[in-house]
Structure 1
Amino acid sequence: MRPSTLRRLIAILILALVAGWLAWPGHREINLSLLGLHLSRDISIREGLDLQGGMQVTLQADVPPGQTVDPDVLKAARNIIESRVNALGVTEPVIQIAEGHRILVELPGLKDPDRAIKTFGETGLLEFIDAGTTPLVPGMLVTTSLGPPSPTAQGTVPTPPEIQQRVFPTVLQGKHLRSAEVGFDELGRPEILFTLTDEGARIFGDFTSANVGKYLAITMDKRVISSPVIQSPIREGRGRITGNFTLDEARSLVIQLKYGALPVPLKVIQTRTVGPTLGQDSLQRSLVAGLIGLGLVAGFMILNYRLPGFLATLALLVYAALVLTLFKLIPVTLTLAGVAGFILSIGMAVDANILIFERMKEELREGRTLRAAIDAGFRRAWTSIRDSNVSTLITCAILFWFGMNFGASIIQGFALTLAIGVLVSMFTAIIVTRTLMTALVELHILETPAWYGMAIPASQPVGRSA
């Protein structure tokens, strides 16, 4: 065997072993120490909404009919929602802008959907309003100098007509807050501690100095949270918001205050919940389908092409290990559509081998040596392999762009996994299969025509290279 072939064979063997080790289902973490360097990384498979369960929410801009929403406003809203969702600790969320002034939010593995919707779906507009001598009951909806409540907003207590007709001046907004955090009062009840910016502290100090004994109500999205009486001037730029919130409600309010108010009110128009049992059942069915597909492809290749088909099957196993390793390292969030793309790529992975083997058989029929037939088969099939795979990659790019820009994450996942599969299949078909076949030829074993699916008498060996 030539030294160059031996080196390629050893490199492929090492690559296959490393890929198999990383792709093994029970292997969820890399933890290595080498030459004083320590590498630790989570490489567990990232499962999407339809595999591990969770929730999908579709939000739409809550604006009057006929009014358009600027795309930049929706992008800003998406960024704020993403910050709020990340603060919830959800892994691999998907937040995309869709047509019709909509934002699609996917939250895999979510445990408390009601709290999540309340956290990222509400506008989050904090206002300190001048209530004068009017005590406002928490839960009322009021109109402030920044506008009326959203048409879909609902209060927890009825708002009297005289309050509905009144416009309360806004003294401070959420943008005047520098920080906010959850605290507890003397009785252990949750409250929100806040610090104002320099401008906010100045405004707050001037207002409280001039309105001692009057009510300063605090509202979130026009809903009254509390309505305390100003006992004395507050000039240090710090304060607290008290109310009848639970700890989770206080945390949600803090998240909204930290990341700012949404630039446009949003309403929930659709929610879809996927249970983890359904997701795992779908995953098991997909894995069974993948194994059946792999078995059928391997059987076809071996029956039709004999030894080359067997080597192509070995290359296919290397392909599967490499693809799963890339899914873990990139990482790729797998959805059912992504699994379908991977299964489809298994069939496409042998397309190149079929083209090569048919070309090789044609060369053998013309009397060429086995080594010459292999070289000619790979060389002449390369153009067809390249063009077909480039066409598939272009299609994948179009599908990925479509899914990213129109909120179709299912299509996006399918395109990504299929593209990775096509790229890896080019490597395994052109490099791995060819190296294995070349190694056998140079060892001068299994040269009988029947081993190559040739309809030639078994007594006639395939020609050798010099």
Structure 2
Amino acid sequence: MKTKNIISLFVIILLIGLVGYIALNGMSIGIYDISPVTKEIKQGLDLKGGLYVIYEAKVDPNEPNKDTQIEGAMRVMRNRLDKENQNEATIAKQGNKWIRVEIPGVKDPREVANILSKPAVLKFIDSEGNEIIGGKDIKNAQPGYGEGNQPVVMFELYKDGAKAFGEATKNNIGKTIKIELDGNVISAPTVQTAILGGSGQITGMENIEEAKKLANLIESGALPVELEQIEIRTIGATLGSDALTRSIKAGLIGTAVVLLFMLIYYRLPGLVADMALVLYILLVLIILSATQVTLTLPGIAGIILSVGMAVDANVIIFERIKEEMQVGKTIKSAVDSGFHKAFSAIFDSNITTIIAGIVLWIFGTGPIQGFAKTLIIGVLVSMLTAITFTKYVMHLVVGLNSSNKKLYGA
């Protein structure tokens, strides 16, 4: 049993080291390439810079609802940016008729700018030239693949739109129904049978990326006012080019101090906590990379806060274990009891933090959402490592049959 536990601990340490190496350096396996997380994590305006675009809203100065129209355009632009995973972008009104958009770390500025200003007026036109339904009738739109593995946009209609579309397809069997986007025909399929289910497909896209962009434009809706792009420029990191380097350096120093403190103060449990903390950091970086979260300085603050909560969870557990040993329990019994008694405190504190993060995510914008996302991800991962990984490894350590309670910080 003791030998088995030693082997298990050795394998765990090797796996953590392997995951760390792959995460930080990447790896090529045949035709598959795993990029380092440092290259995959997008950085915000404050850390890397990006671009800003100025749009002029073409509205009549005497129009009483011009402010409402401009605000509506800003909401549509926000939706489009969110669908492009540009949650950290900022949109602000300037003067009476201008909108300023700042977008971090984009590769093709003009492509993103084109998505923002595109009217996206969608119409289905029958063979007689009558409009059947428009973009407002579409409930949702998703990219996918149709017959012959061709990229398509699959859409679902609201009740009234589904009824009108069903009647139109019933009356136009053998005829074409044109699908127009901003006055341009993007597809003109021939109706084979009545489509009564309230759903259909738009064809004519060259690739799946084009289908994704069209689906995003349809879902975000048409702009309520015409926008003219009058300026586009790249901007540098708002906090300076060395802000990220200094932030990472500070984080590494802080983490190293915490690791050393846990090892000295809690000894064997501290070593287990250090392993859990290293695994926690690696998992957070991998998740941030996989989910394409844009990292800003507030986002880094969210990660650091969740690191503190991860350490705090281990401290609560180890203090409970020490208390149980001080009343005369065996090490194994003290570990079991310590985890059991610490669970409710850890669970309650983490759940309340997650709730606060969700509220910030829903009602916040830009950097506030970035902070909320990294905080939620960090807290969820910290619960996983503290409650499952730490508990499993602690039982392996206890299985080494050491009866010296001083090794457990008692």
TM-score after normalising by structure 1: 0.55
Distance 1:427 1:12, change over 3 A: farther
Q: Secondary structure at the match of 1:107?
A: strand
Mean CA deviation greater in 99-108 or 319-328: 99-108
1:165 matched residue in structure 2: none
Distance 1:328 1:124, change over 3 A: closer
1:21 matched residue in structure 2: 21
- Give the alignment partner of residue 48 of structure 1, picking from 17, 29, 43: 43
2:185 matched residue in structure 1: 178
Mean CA deviation greater in 116-125 or 343-352: 116-125
- Give the alignment partner of residue 449 of structure 1, picking from 398, 405, 410: 405
Shift of 1:359: 0.7
1:326-345 to 2 correspondences below 5 Å: 326-345=287-306
2:143 matched residue in structure 1: none
Q: Secondary structure at the match of 1:444?
A: coil
The C-alpha deviation readout for 1:403-444, integer Å capped at 9, x for no partner, is: 2xxxx2101111111111111111211222222221122112
Percent identity over the alignment is: 41
Distance 1:294 1:270, change over 3 A: farther
CA contact (8 A) 1:8 1:435 kept: no
1:383-394 to 2 correspondences below 5 Å: 383-394=344-355
Look up the equivalent residue of 1:424 and give its one-letter code.
Answer: V
Q: Within 1, Cα distance between the matches of 2:93 and 2:359?
A: 18
Q: Within 2, Cα distance between the matches of 1:410 and 1:329?
A: 19
Q: Secondary structure at the match of 1:443?
A: coil
The C-alpha deviation readout for 1:331-354, integer Å capped at 9, x for no partner, is: 322222212211221111111111
The C-alpha deviation readout for 1:268-290, integer Å capped at 9, x for no partner, is: 89999641595541110110111
Query: How many residue pairs are counted as aligned between the two chains?
Result: 315
Distance 1:3 1:95, change over 3 A: same
Distance 1:331 1:371, change over 3 A: same
Q: Within 2, Cα distance between the matches of 1:16 and 1:356?
A: 22
Mean CA deviation greater in 6-15 or 421-430: 6-15
Q: Within 2, Cα distance between the matches of 1:263 and 1:174?
A: 15
Look up the equivalent residue of 1:412 and give its one-letter code.
Answer: Q
Shift of 1:122: 5.9
Distance 1:317 1:176, change over 3 A: closer
Task: Name the one with the larger helix percent.
Answer: 2
Distance 1:383 1:174, change over 3 A: closer
The C-alpha deviation readout for 1:116-155, integer Å capped at 9, x for no partner, is: 7975676779xxxxxxxxxxxxxxxxxxxxxxxxxxxxxx
Distance 1:66 1:15, change over 3 A: farther
Shift of 1:108: 2.7
1:339-358 to 2 correspondences below 5 Å: 339-358=300-319
1:396 matched residue in structure 2: 357
1:112-127 to 2 correspondences below 5 Å: 119=114
- Give the alignment partner of residue 109 of structure 1, picking from 81, 105, 119: 105
Q: Within 2, Cα distance between the matches of 1:370 and 1:291?
A: 33
Q: Within 1, Cα distance between the matches of 2:401 and 2:19?
A: 30
Look up the equivalent residue of 2:295 and give its one-letter code.
Answer: L
Q: Within 2, Cα distance between the matches of 1:394 and 1:102?
A: 36
- Give the alignment partner of residue 386 of structure 2, picking from 410, 417, 429: 429
CA contact (8 A) 2:88 2:367 kept: no
Look up the equivalent residue of 1:449 and give its one-letter code.
Answer: K
1:439 matched residue in structure 2: 396
- Give the alignment partner of residue 380 of structure 1, picking from 337, 341, 361: 341
Distance 1:366 1:351, change over 3 A: same
Q: Secondary structure at the match of 1:55?
A: strand
The C-alpha deviation readout for 1:227-283, integer Å capped at 9, x for no partner, is: xxxxxxxxxxxxxxxxxxxxxxxxxxxx9xxx8984313478999964159554111
Q: Within 1, Cα distance between the matches of 2:340 and 2:15?
A: 25
Look up the equivalent residue of 2:185 and give its one-letter code.
Answer: R
2:197 matched residue in structure 1: none
| Contiguous gaps of at least 5 residues in structure 2 | 121-179, 189-212
Q: Within 2, Cα distance between the matches of 1:81 and 1:297?
A: 38
1:305 matched residue in structure 2: 266
Distance 1:93 1:31, change over 3 A: farther
Look up the equivalent residue of 1:448 and give its one-letter code.
Answer: N
Look up the equivalent residue of 1:357 and give its one-letter code.
Answer: F
Distance 1:378 1:122, change over 3 A: closer
The C-alpha deviation readout for 1:165-196, integer Å capped at 9, x for no partner, is: xxxxxxxx9943337xxxxxxxxxxxxxxxx9
CA contact (8 A) 1:356 1:381 kept: yes
- Give the alignment partner of residue 324 of structure 1, picking from 264, 285, 289: 285
Q: Within 1, Cα distance between the matches of 2:376 and 2:34?
A: 25
2:29 matched residue in structure 1: 32
Q: Within 1, Cα distance between the matches of 2:233 and 2:302?
A: 23
Look up the equivalent residue of 1:305 and give its one-letter code.
Answer: Y
Distance 1:122 1:11, change over 3 A: same
| Contiguous gaps of at least 5 residues in structure 1 | 126-172, 180-195, 198-254, 455-466
Larger radius of gyration: 1
Q: Within 2, Cα distance between the matches of 1:6 and 1:409?
A: 47
Q: Within 1, Cα distance between the matches of 2:2 and 2:339?
A: 19
CA contact (8 A) 2:117 2:229 kept: no
Q: Within 2, Cα distance between the matches of 1:32 and 1:118?
A: 37
Q: Within 2, Cα distance between the matches of 1:120 and 1:14?
A: 46
The C-alpha deviation readout for 1:14-67, integer Å capped at 9, x for no partner, is: 75245313321x32xx6435xxxx645656322223222212457685654752
Look up the equivalent residue of 2:339 and give its one-letter code.
Answer: F
2:173 matched residue in structure 1: none
What is the Cα-based RMSD across aligned positions, in Å? 4.4
Distance 1:4 1:427, change over 3 A: farther
